[in-house]
Amino acid sequence: MGLPRERTLILSLVVLGMCLCQITSRTPSDTHISQKHDLWMARYGRVYKNNAEKEMRSNIFKNNVEFVESFNSFGDRSYKLAINHFADRTKDELKAYATGHKDPVDLKSHVETSFKYESVSEVPDSMDWREKGAVTEVKNQGTCGSCWAFSTIAAVEGITQLTTGKLMSLSEQQLIDCNRNDATGGCKGGNKENSFAYIVKNGINNETGYPYHAADETCISANEASRVANITGYEIVPANNETLLLNAVSQQPVSVSIDANADEFKYYSSGVFTGPCGTNLTHDVTLVGYGTYDGIKYWLVKNSWSKDWGIDGYMMMQRDVKAVEGLCGITKQASFPTA
Ligand SMILES: *[C@@H]1O[C@H](CO)[C@@H](O)[C@H](O)[C@H]1NC(C)=O
Ligand SMILES: *[C@@H]1O[C@H](CO)[C@@H](O)[C@H](O)[C@H]1NC(C)=O
Ligand SMILES: *[C@@H]1O[C@H](CO)[C@@H](O)[C@H](O)[C@H]1NC(C)=O
Ligand SMILES: *[C@@H]1O[C@H](CO)[C@@H](O)[C@H](O)[C@H]1NC(C)=O
Q: What is the pLDDT of residue 22?
A: 43
| Alpha carbons 269 and 312: distance in angstroms, whole number | 9
Give the residue, out of 119, 123, 243, with the most ligand 3 atoms within 8 A of its beta carbon, to mutate for a pocket test: 243
pLDDT one-digit tens code per residue, 24-41: 455 667 788 999 999 999
The catalytic position among 37, 178, 277, 283 is 283
The catalytic position among 144, 147, 178, 187 is 147
Query: What atom in ligand 2 is closest to the CA of residue 203?
Result: 1
CA dihedral (243, 249, 255, 259) in degrees, to 10, reads: 50
Ligand nearest to the CA of 281: 4
| Residue 283 a catalytic site member | yes
pLDDT one-digit tens code per residue, 105-153: 766 555 556 899 999 999 999 999 999 999 999 999 999 999 999 999 9
Q: Say yes or no: CB of residue 324 within 6 Å of ligand 3.
A: yes
Lowest mean pLDDT among 113-117, 142-146, 240-244, 264-268: 113-117
Q: What is the pLDDT of residue 150?
A: 98
Q: What is the pLDDT of residue 268?
A: 98
pLDDT one-digit tens code per residue, 72-97: 999 889 999 999 999 999 988 898 88
Q: What is the pLDDT of residue 254?
A: 98
Expressed in angstroms and rounded, the spacing between residue 240 Cα and the centre of ligand 3 is 9
The b-or-e profile of 193-217 (16+ CB within 10 A means b, else e) is bbbbbbbbebbbbbbebbebebeee
Q: Would the pLDDT of 251 be above 90?
A: yes
Ligand nearest to the CA of 280: 4
Q: Would the pLDDT of 239 be above 90?
A: yes
Ligand nearest to the CA of 325: 3
Q: Delineate the domains of the chain, giving CATH numbers in brackets.
A: 91-338 (3.90.70.10)
Q: What is the pLDDT of residue 112?
A: 59
Q: Among residues 224, 245, 234, 90, which one has the least CA distance to residue 153?
A: 234
User: Which of the 8 DSSP states describes residue 7?
Assistant: H
Residue type, 58: S
Q: Would the pLDDT of 3 be above 70?
A: no
| Residue 213 a catalytic site member | no
pTM: predicted TM-score of the whole model, two decimal places: 0.90
Task: Take atom 7 of ligand 4 and give the residue whose Cα is closest.
Answer: 280
Q: What is the pLDDT of residue 49?
A: 97
Task: Take atom 3 of ligand 4 and give the residue whose Cα is closest.
Answer: 280
Give the residue, out of 118, 244, 246, with the most ligand 3 atoms within 8 A of its beta carbon, to mutate for a pocket test: 244
Residues 329, 261: contact at Cβ < 8 Å? no
pLDDT one-digit tens code per residue, 299-329: 999 999 999 999 999 999 999 999 999 999 9
pLDDT one-digit tens code per residue, 42-70: 999 999 999 999 999 999 999 999 999 99
Q: State what percent of residues in the chain have pLDDT above 70.
A: 87
Mean pLDDT of the 159-166 span: 98
User: Which of the 8 DSSP states describes residue 36?
Assistant: H
Residues 272, 317: contact at Cβ < 8 Å? yes
Q: How far is CA 80 from CA 14, 59, 138, 257, 289, in A?
A: 47, 22, 20, 23, 21
Residues 330, 299: contact at Cβ < 8 Å? yes
Task: Take atom 12 of ligand 3 and give the residue whose Cα is closest.
Answer: 241
Calculate ∠ Cα 68-71-72, nearest 5°: 85
